[in-house]
A and B are shown apart, each in its own frame.
Chain A
Amino acid sequence: MVLRTPLYSEHVRLGARLVPFAGWEMPLHYGSQIQEHQAVRQDAGMFDVSHMRAIDLIGPDALSVLRRLLANDAAKLTVPGKALYSCMLNPAGGVVDDLILFRLDELAYRAVVNAATTAKDLAWMHHHLAGERVDIRPREDLAIIAVQGPTARDRTASCLPEALRARALALAPFHGVSDGDWLVGRTGYTGEDGFEIMLPHTEALALWSALIAAGVRPCGLGARDTLRLEAGLSLYGQDMDESIGPLDAGLAWTVAWTPETRDFIGRQALSARRDHPERLDLVGLLLTGRGVLRAHQPVLLEGRIIGEVTSGGFSPTLERSIGLARITPVDRVECAVEIRGHAVAARIVKPPFVRHGRIRVTL
Chain B
Amino acid sequence: MSQVPGDLRYTKSHEWVRDNGDGTVTVGITDHAQDALGDIVFVETPEQGREVAAEEGCAVVESVKAASDIYAPLAGAIVAANPLLDDTPDAINNDPYGEGWIFQLAPSDPGALALLLDAAAYQQVVADDA
Give the interface of A toward B (CB within 8 A): 17, 28-29, 32-34, 222, 226, 290-292, 294, 313-314, 321, 340
Nearest-CB distance from A21 to chain B (Å)?
13
B118 interface residue (CB < 8 Å to A)? no
C-alpha spacing A33/B41, complex, angstroms: 11
B51 interface residue (CB < 8 Å to A)? no
Apart from A222-B64, A294-B67: 17 A-B pairs, beta carbons within 8 A:
A28-B65, A32-B39, A33-B38, A33-B39, A33-B64, A33-B65, A34-B41, A34-B64, A222-B38, A290-B44, A291-B62, A292-B41, A292-B62, A313-B64, A314-B41, A314-B42, A314-B62
Q: Tell whether A292 pairs with B65 under 8 Å between CB atoms, given A222-B38, A314-B41, A340-B60.
A: no
> Using an 8 Å CB-CB cutoff, how does the interface string of B58-101 with A read, 1 for contact, 0 for none?
00101011110000000000000000000000000000000000
C-alpha spacing A294/B39, complex, angstroms: 16
What are 20 inter-chain pairs, A to B, with CB distance below 8 A? A17-B38, A28-B65, A32-B38, A32-B39, A33-B38, A33-B39, A33-B64, A34-B39, A34-B41, A222-B64, A291-B42, A291-B44, A292-B62, A292-B67, A294-B66, A294-B67, A314-B42, A314-B62, A321-B41, A340-B44
> Which of B44, B60, B65 has a CB less than 8 Å from the CB of A222?
B65
Task: Name the A residues within 8 Å of B62 (CB-CB).
Answer: 291-292, 314
> Using an 8 Å CB-CB cutoff, how does the interface string of B92-128 with A read, 1 for contact, 0 for none?
0000000000000000000000000000000000000
C-alpha spacing A290/B85, complex, angstroms: 12
C-alpha spacing A290/B42, complex, angstroms: 8
Query: How many residues of chain B get a CB closer than 8 Å to chain A's CBs?
Result: 11
C-alpha spacing A222/B66, complex, angstroms: 11
Task: Name the A residues within 8 Å of B41 (CB-CB).
Answer: 34, 292, 314, 321
Pairwise interchain contact A321-B39, C-beta atoms closer than 8 A: no
**Across the two chains, which residue of chain A brings its CB closest to B90?**
A34
Task: Name the A residues within 8 Å of B39 (CB-CB).
Answer: 32-34
Give the interface of B toward A (CB within 8 A): 38-39, 41-42, 44, 60, 62, 64-67
C-alpha spacing A292/B44, complex, angstroms: 10
C-alpha spacing A17/B39, complex, angstroms: 13
Task: Name the B residues within 8 Å of A29 (CB-CB).
Answer: 38
Task: Name the B residues within 8 Å of A17 (CB-CB).
Answer: 38
Among A294, A314, A321, max chain B CB count under 10 A is at A314
C-alpha spacing A313/B39, complex, angstroms: 12
C-alpha spacing A73/B65, complex, angstroms: 37
Nearest-CB distance from A288 to chain B (Å)?
14
Among B60, B62, B64, B66, max chain A CB count under 10 A is at B64
Nearest-CB distance from A102 to chain B (Å)?
32
C-alpha spacing A292/B38, complex, angstroms: 15
Pairwise interchain contact B60-A321, C-beta atoms closer than 8 A: no
The 3 closest A-B pairs by CB, nearest first: A314-B41, A292-B62, A34-B39
C-alpha spacing A209/B31, complex, angstroms: 31
Nearest-CB distance from B36 to chain A (Å)?
8
C-alpha spacing A292/B62, complex, angstroms: 7
C-alpha spacing A240/B62, complex, angstroms: 25
Nearest-CB distance from A313 to chain B (Å)?
7
Task: Name the A residues within 8 Å of B44 (CB-CB).
Answer: 290-291, 340
C-alpha spacing A222/B41, complex, angstroms: 14
C-alpha spacing A236/B44, complex, angstroms: 31
Task: Name the A residues within 8 Å of B64 (CB-CB).
Answer: 33-34, 222, 226, 313-314
Nearest-CB distance from B6 to chain A (Å)?
27
Nearest-CB distance from B109 to chain A (Å)?
29
Nearest-CB distance from A57 to chain B (Å)?
37
C-alpha spacing A170/B60, complex, angstroms: 49
C-alpha spacing A41/B27, complex, angstroms: 36
Nearest-CB distance from B29 to chain A (Å)?
17
Among A28, A33, A292, max chain B CB count under 10 A is at A292
Task: Name the B residues within 8 Å of A291 (CB-CB).
Answer: 42, 44, 62
Nearest-CB distance from B14 to chain A (Å)?
16
Task: Name the A residues within 8 Å of B60 (CB-CB).
Answer: 340
C-alpha spacing A340/B62, complex, angstroms: 12
